[in-house]
Amino acid sequence: MTETMAAASGRPYEVKRLQTVAIPKAKVLGETHGLLKAIVDTETGLILGATLFCPEAHELINLLKLAMDHQIPAEALRTQIFTHPTIAEALNDLFAPNYRTSLSLPYTKSFAPDPSRRDGSGAKLFLCQCGD
């Protein structure tokens, strides 16, 4: 479910966002541009949908889809212990109550490969979505 669909549904929801620059593994990879976003039902705590535009999103989306399919609440992912450093550990922060809502992190809409990378590979970002 997208944010637009959640608003149209009339059900109570919350939008959770985390910029990739806040994820330690993204810093290790040198790929800090991107965003994790999830729609969570505020009454049940269930994840209604997610959009991930970050390194290793193709791996992370599987965890979110599993939680959605089996009605595992967002709190379970928030309290799960993930190895460090991994992109998956970002789920702890994404689903934390009011995580960095008042902190203004740098944001860019430009997700072009970074030509300054020494290996020449540029950014390796994946866009993944799940939800009804």
Q: Is 56 within 8 Å of 121 (Cβ atoms)?
A: no
The residue to which tokens 């979110």 are assigned = 64
Contact (CB, 8 A) for 91 and 82: yes
Q: Any idea which residues carry the catalytic annotation?
A: 84
The order of strands in the sheet holding 35-41 is: 13-19, 35-41, 47-54, 126-131
